[in-house]
Amino acid sequence: MNQFINKNLYGDYGDKEQATGASGTHNTAGEWPLWEVFIRSKAGLDHKHAGSLHAADAQMAIENARDVYTRRMEGVSIWVVESKNIHASDPYEAASMYEPANDKVYRHPTFYNLPDELKHM
Amino acid sequence: MTVHSFQEHFDAKIDNEVMIEPRDWMPDDYRKTLIRQISQHAHSEIVGMLPEGNWITRAPSLRRKAVLLAKVQDEGGHGLYLYSAAETLGITRDEMFDQLHTGKAKYSSIFNYPTLTWADIGAIGWLVDGAAIMNQVPLCRTSYGPYARAMVRVCKEESFHQRQGFEIMMTLANGTDVQKKMAQDALNRWWWPSIMMFGPNDADSPHTAQSMRWRIKRFTNDELRQKFIDVTVEQARLIGLTVPDPDLKWNEERGHYDFGPINWDEFWNVVKGNGPCNKERLDARKKAWEEGAWVREAALAHSEKRKARKENKEVKAA
Ligand SMILES: [Fe+2]
Ligand SMILES: [Fe+2]
């Protein structure tokens, strides 16, 4: 199992080093590091992943993110984080990872069968 | 899990319209096809800036100049969205640039034609961006997540590109005789290359069936081409321009326009590098890349120096 996963890590965000390190064929030495960009579209909303870009440092990443991802006022705030610092869950463990939530329908309000006459609840 | 069950799992996802994400298992050929298609697409956006950039300083008014600048900047953005989508598949940015500069990777042949007059900027927005939109809208539902998300962003921005181009053509077509002639001349030169943008006929497009199976593509080249011709012919009529195809005729039975034969020799000739501007475009890209090398190196050195200085300070403070 492990060997398949290693073979198929195609450089997802954050695990780029691991992915490229394993195959050893990609040389990113001269490249500016990769950054993930998160944008808050307006006050009151969460920052949401918008995409990625290359920049030499955080300041340049923010400036580039403005030019690349907010040309039409898509944002009021930008977060950038170097992609190598993001850690992701393993898609092959998704089944077991999210299994505990699977059989707990009683966590949803619709689980409870209450009379129609009941108001404000 | 065996390779076999990985494959089954992948096929089931495709069949059920579940998007494939970067860390999911995928067949090697699916990955290769995507890398080829997405990087070609990115190269097209970047090289596509050149013919239009040619007219930024010569735009006829401040309004047209501002619009053209914004459009060209958008195309640069499209290239960047797409390059980073391709990078999630395990190819680096520099590898893609290298493939472009060495001629290993292709870009859309349409950008190997010259922009001779201001009307060409109108024709490009109307026809070239119009054809691109036809291609790109279905790609918003393509099966690879990062590509689909990039395309959603691109499509949102494309519609102004086409509208500003049509507005230029409309203005010229309603102008003096000379202006009208200029618009017609641009349409005459850009029509067939635009039709060819959809690629070879389905019968000569070996990858189409597999790409449709993988839901990378949603429509075939010929389907998209027909759609484009049907809507564009009506648009030309609206501004009194004539599509340069004597065989163009509404076919009641098919519910589509019939059109004349496409000069595929010209198409393949331009693909192979013999178009009017192939060399010029590639040289411009290589020049930009080479002359920008010192900037890339300096920025990296600067950031490393700053990092070291900061670490030094922290050590001292501790
Ligand atoms: Fe574009
Ligand atoms: Fe465009």
CA gap A45, A24 in Å, rounded = 40
Sign of CA pseudo-dihedral B72, B76, B78, B79: positive
Question: Ligand 2 centre and the CA of B134: distance in Å?
Answer: 12
Query: Are B299 and A32 in contact (CB < 8 Å)?
Result: yes
CA gap B118, B186 in Å, rounded = 9
In terms of Cβ atoms closer than 10 Å to its own Cβ (0-12, 13-18, 19+), residue A110 is: exposed
- Among B residues 86-115, those touching chain A with beta carbons less than 8 Å apart: 87-95
Average pLDDT over residues B229-252: 97
* Per-residue pLDDT tens digits for B192-236: 999 999 999 999 988 899 999 999 999 999 999 999 999 999 999
User: ipTM above 0.95?
Assistant: no
Percent of chain B with pLDDT over 70: 99
Average pLDDT over residues A72-92: 91
* Per-residue pLDDT tens digits for B275-312: 999 999 999 999 999 999 999 999 999 999 998 998 88
CA gap B164, B64 in Å, rounded = 9
Please name the residue that has the structure tokens 């494939």. B20
Residue A25 has a pLDDT of 54
Residue B27 has a pLDDT of 95
A91: contact with B, CB 8 A cutoff? yes
Confidence of residue B47 (pLDDT cuts 50, 70, 90): very high
Mutate to test the interface with A, among B92, B99, B289 (most CBs of A within 10 A): B92
Of all ligands present, the nearest one to the C-alpha of B46 is 1
Q: Is the pLDDT of residue B129 over 70?
A: yes
Return the structure tokens found at A107: 């966590």
Residue A83 has a pLDDT of 92
Question: Ligand 2 centre and the CA of B129: distance in Å?
Answer: 5
Range of weakest confidence among A47-51, B39-43, B203-207, B281-285? B203-207
- Measured in whole angstroms, how far is the alpha carbon of residue B105 from the centre of its chain? 14
CA nearest A29: which of B208, B182, B297, B50? B297
Of all ligands present, the nearest one to the C-alpha of B151 is 1
Interior CA angle at B126 toward B262 and B44, to 5°?
A: 70
| Mean of per-residue pLDDT scores for chain A | 81
Q: Which residues pair with residue A48 across a beta bridge?
A: A39
Specify whether the CB–CB gap between A83 and A52 falls below 8 A: yes
CA gap B167, B129 in Å, rounded = 13
Specify whether the CB–CB gap between B261 and B201 falls below 8 A: no
Inter-axis angle of helices B145-173 and B177-196, nearest 10: 150
Which of A26, A67, A68 minimises the CB distance to B92? A26
Half-sphere exposure of B177 (CA within 13 A, CB side): 0
| Mean of per-residue pLDDT scores for chain B | 95
User: What residues in B contact A32, CB-CB < 8 Å?
Assistant: 296, 299-300
User: What residues in A contact B24, CB-CB < 8 Å?
Assistant: 91
Question: Ligand 1 centre and the CA of A63: distance in Å?
Answer: 21
- DSSP string for B103-120: TSS---GGGGS---SHHH
In terms of Cβ atoms closer than 10 Å to its own Cβ (0-12, 13-18, 19+), residue B64 is: buried
Q: How many CB atoms lie within 10 A of CB B135?
A: 21
CA gap A35, A87 in Å, rounded = 13
User: What residues in B contact A91, CB-CB < 8 Å?
Assistant: 21, 23-24
CA gap B200, A94 in Å, rounded = 42
Q: Is the pLDDT of residue A92 over 70?
A: yes
Question: Ligand 1 centre and the CA of B136: distance in Å?
Answer: 9
- Measured in whole angstroms, how far is the alpha carbon of residue A103 from the centre of its chain? 26
Percent of chain A with pLDDT over 70: 78
* Per-residue pLDDT tens digits for A99-114: 888 888 999 999 999 9
- Measured in whole angstroms, how far is the alpha carbon of residue B88 from the centre of its chain? 19
A68: contact with B, CB 8 A cutoff? yes
Please name the residue that has the structure tokens 């039709």. B195
**Residue B231 to chain A, least CA–CA distance (Å):** 28
B299: contact with A, CB 8 A cutoff? yes
Return the structure tokens found at A115: 């009379």
Query: Are A51 and B21 in contact (CB < 8 Å)?
Result: no
A·B CB contacts under 8 A? 92
Q: Is the pLDDT of residue B32 over 80?
A: yes
Question: Ligand 2 centre and the CA of B283: distance in Å?
Answer: 22
A56: contact with B, CB 8 A cutoff? yes
Residue B138 has a pLDDT of 96
Specify whether the CB–CB gap between A55 and A33 falls below 8 A: yes
Average pLDDT over residues A5-16: 38
Query: Are A91 and B84 in contact (CB < 8 Å)?
Result: no
CA nearest B59: which of B48, B70, B43? B70
Range of weakest confidence among A1-10, B143-152, B209-218, B247-256? A1-10
Q: Is the pLDDT of residue B65 over 90?
A: yes
- DSSP string for B165-185: HHHHHHHHHTS-HHHHHHHHH
Which of A10, A52, A56 minimises the CB distance to B299? A56
Confidence of residue B189 (pLDDT cuts 50, 70, 90): very high
Q: Residue A38 in 3-state DSSP?
A: strand
Inter-axis angle of helices B62-87 and B93-101, nearest 10: 110
CA-based end-to-end distance of chain B: 50
Confidence of residue B237 (pLDDT cuts 50, 70, 90): very high
Q: How many CB atoms lie within 10 A of CB A61?
A: 25
Q: How many CB atoms lie within 10 A of CB A19?
A: 19
